[in-house]
A and B are shown apart, each in its own frame.
Chain A
Amino acid sequence: MSTVTPTRPAARPAPDRPPPARPNRAIRVSKWQIYVPLGLYLLFTLVPFYWMLVFAVRPRGSTSLLPWPVSLENFETVWNGLGFGVFFANSLKVGAAALVSTTVIALAGGYALARYRFRGRTAFMVAMLCTQFIPGAMMLIPLFEVFRTLELVNSLWSLVIAETVFQLPLSLILISGFIRNVPVELEEAAWVDGCSRLRGFLVVVLPMLRPGLVAVGSFAFIHSWNNFLFALMFVSEQEKYTIPVGLAFTLGEFSVDFGALAAGGVVAAVPVVLVFAIVQRYLVQGLSAGAVKG
C-alpha cells in the first residue's frame, strides 16, 4: 500500500517588489550625471553675469575680481548721465503694449485656428511658419516706409506694431495648440447653459489657457525688451530710445565705458530675469502643452 505523503505546497513566488529603499549606487551615479553637467553649464552661463556684476559695481580704476567694495557710480552714470531712466520707461511701455497686443490677437486668431475648419487653414499655418524665416533686418526698409506713410516713424507705436507682427506667428501657433487641448464639449456645455460663444470662451476656455498666455506674453515682452534694430531705426529722438540702444551708446568710436556698459547690462537684465523667475513654472507648462500636444 502506498501511502501518499502530503507534500507541502511549494511556496508561492514572492511578488515583484521594488528594491529595498537603501542607498543605491546606480541612483547616486545618476545624480552625479545630472548635477555635474548642470553645474558646469550653470558655471558657463553665470560667469559672464558675474563678470558684468563685478564691472558694474566696482569703483572706476579698480581691478578687483570681487564685487567689493560696492560703488553705485556706474549706475548713476547710466541712469542719470546716459538717460537710462527714460530708456527704461520706454522699454517698459513698448514691452507692455507688445505683450497685450500680441496676446489678445494671438488669442483671437488661435481660437479661430483651433475651433474652425476653413479653406486655406493649413496654408495659413504654413505661411505663418514661413514668416519666421525672414530676418528682421530684411524687413527694415519696407517697414520703415510703411510707418512713414502712417506717420508712425519716431513713435513708440512703430516698435509695438513691428514687435507684434514679428511675434504673432509663433504666438498664434502656440495658443491654437493650447486651445485644441481644451475639450470642445466644455464649451458646448456652457452654450447649453445659455452662454454666447464669447462668454463661453471667457468663462470656460480662458482660465485654462493661463500657462499658454504666460508663455506667449513673456516671449512677446522679452523679445521687444531686447530688440535693438527696430528701436534704433524707427526712432530718431533721444527721449524715445529704448534700453538696447542705450547700451550701444556706451561703445564709442574712441571710448568704451566698461563700467557703464556693465551697469547698463544689469539694468537691462533685471526685468528679464524677474519675468523669467516669476513665470518660469507656467512657461514650461505652456511651451510643452501648446507645442507638443497641439
Chain B
Amino acid sequence: MAPGRWSRTATALAVGACLALAGCGDDPAADGTTTITFWDDNGGPARTPVWEHMIAEFEKENPTIKVKYVGIPIAQVQQKYDTAIAGGGLPDVGGVTTAMLANLAAREVLEPMDERLSGSALDGKLNEQVVDTVKATVPDEKLYMVPLSTNLGVFWYRADWFAEAKISPPANWDEFYSAVEKLTDRPNNRYGYTIRGGAGSISQLLEVLYGQSGIDEVFDSSGESTVNDPGNVEALERIAGLYKKVTPEADVTNDYVKMVAQFDGGNIGVMQHNLGSYTDHVETLGEDKVDAMFVPAGEDGTRTVTSHPVTGLGVFAAGEQRDAAFRFAEFVAGKEMNTYWATETGVLPANTEVADAAGLEHITRAAQVLSDPGTTLVQLPYYLPEFNSITKTDAEPQFQKVLLGELSARDFLDEMAGKLTEAQASYDERNGG
C-alpha cells in the first residue's frame, strides 16, 4: 500500500473510531425528570425481562422518575460492588442478598430502611420471618434492604422416572435413600441422584446434614458450632456414600451449571437445589416430567430446613436520588409487582399479601412447608463476614476429598466447625456479645 493510502486509512480509522466512541457519551438530562440507576445483581435472559417489565410499570406510575437498568452477571456482582465502593460509581439502588449484606453494611454503603419502611405502604406487609432474617445478618440489626423474596431448598425429581419405577416421592430420609438406589440404572446412564461436589456445594450439604440430624442451631448456647455434631457426621457419611454408587463419578466437580446440565439432560433422577431453578427445568424437560419435593422429614416426622439468602433491593447511601430509589424499591416489593416477581422467578415472595397469588403450586407448597409448625428453620450465619470464605474457599476442596475417600467425614466437619466457632467468637467480641 502506498504511504499516502496508509496514512489516509489510519487517519480515517482513527477519526471514525473517535466519532463512534464519542457518540456513546451521556446526554445531560434536561427534561426535569429524575433518573436513578439500578443494578440488577442477577442480570441475564431469565431476570432482565422481569425487571424491564417492573421498571416499565414503575415509570408508568411515576412519570417523573426514570430507571436506568444495568444488569450485572451474578458471578461478578460482588466484585463489581467492591470496585465501585473502592473507586466510586455505586448505583442509586441495587439488587442485594443477605449473603452479601454483612459485607456491604460493614462498609456503610447502604442506607437503613427501617424508618422509611415504617412510614410506607409496605409497613406490616412484609413477612416477619424474612425481615428478621435480614436484620439478623448485620450486627446493628437494622434493615439494610427491602426484601423481595426468599428461597427454600428443594429436591427436583423426575416424576416420569418415579412413575416408571412405581415408587412415590420419598416422605422421609430412608425412603429417599431407597428411591435414589432404585432409580439408578448405570448401563443406561441413569443415576438416581447427583451430588454437588464443586462450587456452591456446602450450602446444599448443610441443608442435607441438618435435615437428617434434626439439629436446629448452627451454634449451641456456648457458641460452639454444631456442624461436627455426631448426628451431622453420620448424615455426611451416609450422603457421601452415595457418590459413584448412585451418582456420576464426575459429581466431585459438579457446580450448578454441570448439575443442571445433567438433570435437564435426562441423566439424573433427583437433584437438590432450590425453588429458583424451576423455570429452567420446566422449559427443558416439560411440566409433566419434573416436580418438587422438599427436604424429607426425620424419623419423628418433623422437618428441618436451612435458611436461604433473602433477595431484595438496597438503597445506596451515597446516591443523590435516595427518595426516588426507595420509591422504586417500595413499588417492586408491593403486592402487584411482588406477585409478578414470584410468579416469574419461582421464589417465595416477601410480601405476605402475595402468598396465595403466586399461582405456582410448588410455591404454595413451599410456603406451607415454611409455615408448618413441624418445620424447623436453621438460620445459617450469613452475618459472619468469614462465612463465605469458610464455606467456599476452605470447605469446598475438603468436601471433594471426603467424596474421594481422602478425608474422613469427622475430620472435615471438625475443621469446618472449628473455623465457624472461631468466626462466631470474633463476631461476638466485635459486637460486644
Residues of A within 8 A of B (CB): 60-61, 63, 77, 81-82, 90, 93-94, 96-97, 99-101, 103-104, 140-141, 144-145, 148, 153-157, 160, 202-203, 206-207, 232-233, 236-240, 245, 248-258, 260
A interface footprint on B199-243 (CB within 8 Å = 1, 0 otherwise): 000000000000000000000000000000000000000000000
A245-B73, A249-B71, A255-B45 known; A202 vs B91 contact (CB < 8 Å): no
Which A residue sits closest to B72, measured CB to CB? A232
Determine whether B165 belongs to the interface, using a CB cutoff of 8 Å to chain A: no
* Cβ B80 vs Cβ A252 within 8 A: no
* Nearest CB of chain B from residue A206's CB, rounded to whole Å: 6
Which A residue sits closest to B49, measured CB to CB? A81
Residues 65-122 (chain B) with a chain A CB within 8 angstroms:
68-76, 79-80, 83-84, 86-89, 91
Q: How many residues of B contact A (CB 8 A)?
A: 60
A145–B43 Cα distance when bound, in Å, is: 25
* Cβ B10 vs Cβ A250 within 8 A: no
Determine whether B28 belongs to the interface, using a CB cutoff of 8 Å to chain A: no
Binds A, one of B1-9, B370-378, B389-397: B1-9
Determine whether B301 belongs to the interface, using a CB cutoff of 8 Å to chain A: no
* Cβ A154 vs Cβ B26 within 8 A: yes
A55–B3 Cα distance when bound, in Å, is: 47
Which chain A residues border B7 with CB–CB below 8 Å?
202
Which chain A residues border B69 with CB–CB below 8 Å?
238
* Cβ B44 vs Cβ A252 within 8 A: yes
A232–B70 Cα distance when bound, in Å, is: 11
A249-B44, A250-B44, A252-B47 known; A240 vs B24 contact (CB < 8 Å): yes
A206–B345 Cα distance when bound, in Å, is: 58
Residues 270-285 (chain B) with a chain A CB within 8 angstroms:
273-274, 276-277, 279-280, 283-284
* Cβ B48 vs Cβ A100 within 8 A: no
Binds A, one of B258-266, B323-331, B354-362: B258-266
Which chain A residues border B74 with CB–CB below 8 Å?
251-253
A273–B88 Cα distance when bound, in Å, is: 37
Determine whether B42 belongs to the interface, using a CB cutoff of 8 Å to chain A: yes
A232–B73 Cα distance when bound, in Å, is: 9
Determine whether B13 belongs to the interface, using a CB cutoff of 8 Å to chain A: yes
**Among the listed B1, B45, B76, B276, which residue makes an inter-chain contact with A232, where contact means beta carbons less than 8 Å apart?**
B76
A60–B3 Cα distance when bound, in Å, is: 53
* Cβ A148 vs Cβ B46 within 8 A: no
| 16 additional A-B residue pairs with CB within 8 Å, beyond A60-B283, A94-B21, A206-B3 | A81-B49, A93-B20, A96-B13, A97-B18, A104-B14, A148-B88, A153-B88, A156-B21, A160-B21, A236-B70, A238-B70, A251-B73, A252-B45, A254-B276, A255-B279, A260-B45
* Cβ B42 vs Cβ A253 within 8 A: yes
* Cβ A256 vs Cβ B256 within 8 A: yes
Determine whether B37 belongs to the interface, using a CB cutoff of 8 Å to chain A: yes
A238–B20 Cα distance when bound, in Å, is: 17
Could you pull out 25 A-B pairs where Cβ atoms are within 8 angstroms?
A96-B13, A96-B16, A97-B21, A100-B13, A144-B89, A145-B88, A148-B88, A154-B89, A155-B21, A160-B21, A233-B83, A236-B89, A237-B70, A238-B71, A239-B24, A252-B47, A252-B74, A253-B256, A253-B276, A254-B277, A254-B345, A255-B46, A255-B276, A255-B279, A258-B261
Which chain A residues border B316 with CB–CB below 8 Å?
none
Which chain A residues border B256 with CB–CB below 8 Å?
253, 256
**Among the listed A63, A100, A103, A148, which residue makes an inter-chain contact with B266, where contact means beta carbons less than 8 Å apart?**
A63
Which chain A residues border B13 with CB–CB below 8 Å?
96, 99-100
A141–B277 Cα distance when bound, in Å, is: 34
* Nearest CB of chain B from residue A235's CB, rounded to whole Å: 9
Which B residue sits closest to A204, measured CB to CB? B3
**Among the listed B49, B83, B274, which residue makes an inter-chain contact with A144, where contact means beta carbons less than 8 Å apart?**
B83
Determine whether B257 belongs to the interface, using a CB cutoff of 8 Å to chain A: yes
Which chain A residues border B265 with CB–CB below 8 Å?
63
* Nearest CB of chain A from residue B107's CB, rounded to whole Å: 14
A63-B265, A256-B280 known; A249 vs B89 contact (CB < 8 Å): no
B1, B10, B87, B261 pick with most chain A CB within 10 angstroms: B87
Determine whether B187 belongs to the interface, using a CB cutoff of 8 Å to chain A: no
